[in-house]
Amino acid sequence: MNNPFLTEYVKQNLRECQLKQLSILEEVDRICQKHQIDYWLDGGSLLGAIRHGGFIPWDDDIDIAMTLEGLKQFIRVAPQELREGLFLQTSESDPTHKEPIVKVRDLNSLYIESGDNMQAPYQKGLYIDIFPFIDYPSVPKAWVKKLTKGISTSYSILHKAHYYSLRAFAEYFWFHAKYGLYRTLWGLLNLLYPKGTYMSNILINNGYGIMHRKDSIFPLGRMTFEGKEFPAPHNPDAYLKDLYKNYMEIPPEDKRKIHAIYVHPELITHGNNR
């Protein structure tokens, strides 16, 4: 469905959406500083900081990363620390939310993406994503790409809504077997090869097969994003080349996609709540 009025509405609200997400990031930064939890700008947010000094102009989310241990600590402390109106969304705090990514949501907003299930009662406010990083074994990148893509794809298919059909029945067994096999192979690689040089996102979130040298991340540096400083990888150039190759190249206009199909930045007006 192509509705030019809806598309224009989302564009008109994009900047307000970005500023509200920035305020969420500032709150996460406050909590992480208080509890000495390392995190860093990741993905499109790091790219935006380098290339645009803030948000990519057509971007409508914020990505940050933490070590898995750091994220576990953040999950323990954040529910008591987050300001009123923010919600830490995990599989435990919001069980009907099936996406395997921890988010901090703003409850006084509405953000709808194409994959959202409007019948499920999970929170759908503006958010920032938090990606947990783990150590990877020192193996060829081609192996990492093959296994992580297979694990991520299998997990995604197994956890999406299925309708009764012969194909769905076959997919269930095929992707269960593939997921189990690839996880077993990954476990063997972790036993046979040394770790400590590379790290990346947990396997179910790493469909592109990316891995970073740890010395391109640590010790963390600082970077300006929307006029404020936040933690960033030690070598952002190497980090972004791992993700995007020629990251300074601006994509053609037809590739500049806003994720949301509908966004309402503020449900109830309370004056200046940023």
User: 6 to each of 1, 56, 96, 166, how far by Cα in Å?
Assistant: 10, 21, 27, 37
Q: What is the pLDDT of residues 154-179, one digit of tens each?
A: 998 887 776 667 777 788 888 999 99
pLDDT at 1 over 80: no
Q: What is the pLDDT of residues 35-86, one digit of tens each?
A: 999 999 999 999 999 999 999 999 999 999 999 999 999 999 999 999 999 9
CA atoms of 208 and 154, how far apart (whole Å): 13
Split at pLDDT 50, 70, 90, the class of 27 is very high
Which residue, among 207, 221, 174, has the nearest Cα to 101 in the 3D structure? 207
With tokens 């070598």, the residue in question is 235
Q: What is the pLDDT of residues 93-135, one digit of tens each?
A: 999 888 889 999 999 999 999 889 888 999 999 999 999 999 9
Residue 217: what residue type?
I
Taken in order 231, 41, 126, 265, is the CA torsion positive or negative?
A: positive
State residue 102's pLDDT score: 97
User: What are the start-end ranges of the E strands in the chain?
Assistant: 40-41, 62-67, 86-89, 102-106, 110-113, 127-137, 195-201, 212-213, 221-225, 228-232, 260-264
Q: Rounded mean pLDDT of 243-265?
A: 91
